[in-house]
Amino acid sequence: MKKSVVLLSGGLDSTTCMSVAAKAGYEIYPLSFDYGQRHQRELEAAKAVAQFYQVKEHRIITLDNVGGSALTDPSIQVPDYAEDDQIPVTYVPARNLLFLSYALGYGEVIGAEAIFIGISSVDYSGYPDCRPEFLEAFQKVAEVGTKAGANGQRIEIKAPLLHLSKADTIRLAGSNGAPLHLTTSCYRGGERACGTCDSCILRLKGFAEAGVADPVPYIEN
């Protein structure tokens, strides 16, 4: 069976990616990261999603916290959603670059044909490492900087949500039977989602546009 590494945060997007990989017939090897994020609940969510899919192995990698983000520095407050063109303080420096690098190395070890990452350039917070040009550049790195690539064994970086709205992602998850009830998206990391941070607002907007009720609890309900 063909193998894939899935970057699994425990959120809506990465869980939808997991469902896409499963439906495509891949043997899934999810990879999650503890990078000092304040929303540690996502790691428990990732474990629950991995268990749902009965994966062979789920690795959680611990990375040193480089700070510089509201998600990793307790002195920086997570802001409420604001619609502007600025890169928000919830941006984590080089996060997807680090995650994909680990996934690429792991993929070489297990003989994976693909790496799935749940980035979107449509309904997102404006992070530079969620853009198509970043993905294209990393694919080139994967091809020229690995033994697999040098030997013509291309590991494809797949981002099936890249051009999907959040509503379309939710519809895709529903059609694939993805366990969105197990996911968490809130940046503040409380037992109930705050409903006001970037991630919560984008999630709620997506569910509203998809005409589906969000199965996770929020502070106001």
Residue 220: band (very low, low, confident or very high) from pLDDT cuts 50, 70, 90: confident
Domains of the chain, by residue range, sit at: 3-210
Q: Rounded to 5 degrees, what are φ and ψ at 39?
A: -90, 65
pLDDT digits (tens, 9 = 90+) for 154-168: 999 999 999 999 999
Q: Write the DSSP string, 184-197.
A: ---TT--SSB-S-B
| 186 marked as part of a ligand binding site | yes
- What pLDDT, on the 0 to 100 scale, is given for residue 86? 85
- What pLDDT, on the 0 to 100 scale, is given for residue 156? 97
pLDDT digits (tens, 9 = 90+) for 176-209: 999 999 999 999 999 999 999 999 999 999 999 9
| 16 marked as part of a ligand binding site | yes
| 161 marked as part of a ligand binding site | no
| 8 marked as part of a ligand binding site | yes
- What pLDDT, on the 0 to 100 scale, is given for residue 8? 98
> How many Å apart are CA 138 and CA 135, to the nearest integer?
5
What DSSP state is assigned to residue 37? -
| 69 marked as part of a ligand binding site | no
- What pLDDT, on the 0 to 100 scale, is given for residue 102? 97
| 118 marked as part of a ligand binding site | no
pLDDT digits (tens, 9 = 90+) for 116-155: 999 998 877 789 999 999 999 999 999 999 999 999 999 9
Mean of the pLDDT values across residues 10-23? Answer: 98
Residue 221: band (very low, low, confident or very high) from pLDDT cuts 50, 70, 90: low
Question: What would the two tokens of residue 105 be?
Answer: 């190395």
| 130 marked as part of a ligand binding site | no
| 17 marked as part of a ligand binding site | yes
- What pLDDT, on the 0 to 100 scale, is given for residue 6? 98
Q: Which CATH superfamily is domain 3-210 in?
A: HUPs (3.40.50.620)
Q: What is the 3-state secondary structure (H, E, C) of 78-132?
A: CCECCCCCCCCCCCCCCHHHHHHHHHHHHHHHHCCCEEECCCCCCCCCCCHHHCH
| 15 marked as part of a ligand binding site | yes
pLDDT digits (tens, 9 = 90+) for 70-119: 999 999 999 998 877 789 999 999 999 999 999 999 999 999 999 999 99
